[in-house]
A = this chain, B = another copy of it.
Amino acid sequence: MRNKKKTTIKDIASVLNISPAAVSKALHDDSRISTKTKEAVKKVAKELNYQPNHLASALRKGKSNLVGVIVPRTNSHFFSSVIQNIEEVLNKEGYNIIITQSNESYKKECSNIDTLLFTQVDGIIASMANETISLDYYEKIKSKGIPLILFDRGENDLNVDYVGINDYDSSHMIVEHLVQQGCKRIAHIGGYRHTRIFNNRINGYIDAIKKHDLSLDESLLIESSLTIEDGRDKMMQLLNLKNRPDAVYVAGDYAALGALQVLNENNINIPKDMALVGFGNEPFTSMVTPTISSIHQHSTEMGKLAALTFLERVKDPKTKQTLNKIILDAELIVRDSSNLK
């Protein structure tokens, strides 16, 4: 007994003996349609359980009201929160989002871009994979003439909008905090320099170390993929030094967790023997023992701003695309791992 055929605008039109065009206009509250007709149309639409065919209108109007989102992964609180806020802002404006994950792979990222373009999205909001070095492939998006907004990973000097936090200053805050706690030899397990945000963190670290007249020991500055496993490896590397550091600033919470595990396993007292600071303020930082100090990246604002930037771009597509960087101030959350009282 199920109504297999979907009701279309034509069905409504024929019931009321008016043209499909009138129905379309009535449904969109066009001023040139009488209130009477509008009411009749809406009544019949409800009765016939009319559901507009999005594909048809998208095809006709040349826009899909779909926005693609690319993230390295969704199972981190940061990205998940950014996504949620992008969604919230865009839903209100009638956009839906398609979420894709690159799993930190450049190849997957490229295929995600193709997928999204194929789906005729009206724009793409993305944060780049660890592997991704250049924005070359992203040119494809711009050549389609749709807005591209990058966040977190993707700071650039090209004409691509970017929303992120002040990584350089964040490093300064961390080093400053550790110095205040009395630390003298501060190590940094950073991300890969080819990613701008990690490079900024490293530069911030270096400059802050210099500023406080601490020795800038090359063995204390290590690049890492920032996974848990690599965090473990790099921490062991630091422990094997003749002259161990008394504090470690890790550029990612997952790697910081790995470091913490190694320290605990080796019965090294945190923070007395070794202070520890992470980056990202992932929920688990306050769950582990000891709790890990970390940088809060304002994921809520970042998501909202990314979405709003997109909305501005579609509203005003004529204005020349110029570099629009939004840099948020981050916040250091001090927890047990670096609290020496």
Q: Any chain B CB within 8 A of the CB of A261?
A: yes
Q: Any chain B CB within 8 A of the CB of A300?
A: no
Q: Any chain B CB within 8 A of the CB of A15?
A: no
Q: Any chain B CB within 8 A of the CB of A241?
A: no
Q: Any chain B CB within 8 A of the CB of A19?
A: no
- The 0/1 profile, CB within 8 Å of B marked 1, for residues 71-103 of chain A is 001111101110110010001000011111101
Q: How many residues of A contact B (CB 8 A)?
A: 50
A264 closest partner in B (C-beta): B289
User: Across the interface, which residues of B come within 8 angstroms of A79, CB to CB?
Assistant: 75
- A118 close to B54 (CB less than 8 A): yes
Of the listed stretches A56-64, A156-164, A244-252, A329-337, chain B binds A56-64
- Complex CA gap A27/B51 in Å reads 32
User: Across the interface, which residues of B come within 8 angstroms of A115, CB to CB?
Assistant: 91, 96
A-B interface, 10 closest residue pairs, ranked by CB to CB distance from nearest? A75-B80, A74-B74, A99-B99, A55-B59, A289-B289, A98-B98, A55-B58, A74-B80, A55-B120, A54-B118
Q: How far is the CB of A336 from chain B (nearest CB, A)?
A: 13
Q: A84-B103, A284-B284 are in contact. Are A59 and B53 (CB under 8 A)?
A: yes
Q: A59-B59, A64-B55, A287-B257 are in contact. Are A99 and B120 (CB under 8 A)?
A: no
This chain: how many copies in the complex? 2
Q: Any chain B CB within 8 A of the CB of A124?
A: no
A-B contact pairs, 29 of them (CB 8 A): A2-B143, A2-B145, A3-B143, A6-B144, A51-B144, A53-B59, A53-B120, A54-B118, A55-B55, A55-B58, A55-B120, A59-B59, A66-B119, A74-B74, A74-B80, A74-B83, A75-B75, A75-B79, A75-B81, A83-B101, A87-B101, A91-B111, A91-B115, A96-B98, A96-B119, A97-B98, A261-B287, A284-B284, A288-B289
User: Across the interface, which residues of B come within 8 angstroms of A242, CB to CB?
Assistant: none
Q: How far is the CB of A155 from chain B (nearest CB, A)?
A: 24
Q: Any chain B CB within 8 A of the CB of A4?
A: yes
- Which of A110-124 touch B at CB < 8 Å? 111, 115, 117-120
Q: Any chain B CB within 8 A of the CB of A52?
A: yes
Taking A54-B118, A59-B59, A288-B289 as known contacts, 13 extra A-B pairs with beta carbons closer than 8 A to each other, sorted by chain A number, are A2-B143, A55-B58, A74-B74, A74-B80, A74-B99, A75-B75, A75-B79, A84-B101, A87-B100, A96-B119, A284-B284, A284-B287, A288-B288
